[in-house]
Amino acid sequence: MNEAISRRILTADKNQSDQLSQQNQDTVAWTECHGVDVLRIIFFDV
């Protein structure tokens, strides 16, 4: 994964964290723990 995409995802996480429901926060935490960056792109790159 290239650096620009990684940085974009991190920014998206920070910008959306206050808006996410608890269920979505749990999904993000699971994804971060498992390193499934492709899923993060699908869910956050809207």
* Tens digit of pLDDT at every position of the chain (46 positions): 577 777 776 666 665 655 656 667 677 776 666 666 666 666 665 5
Rounded alpha-carbon distances, angstroms, from residue 18 to 2, 3, 21, 34? 26, 24, 8, 22
pLDDT at 24: 72
Other C-beta atoms within 10 Å of 18: how many?
6
pTM here? 0.24
Helical (H) or strand (E) element with 39: helix 37-44
Locate the domains of the chain by residue range.
3-44
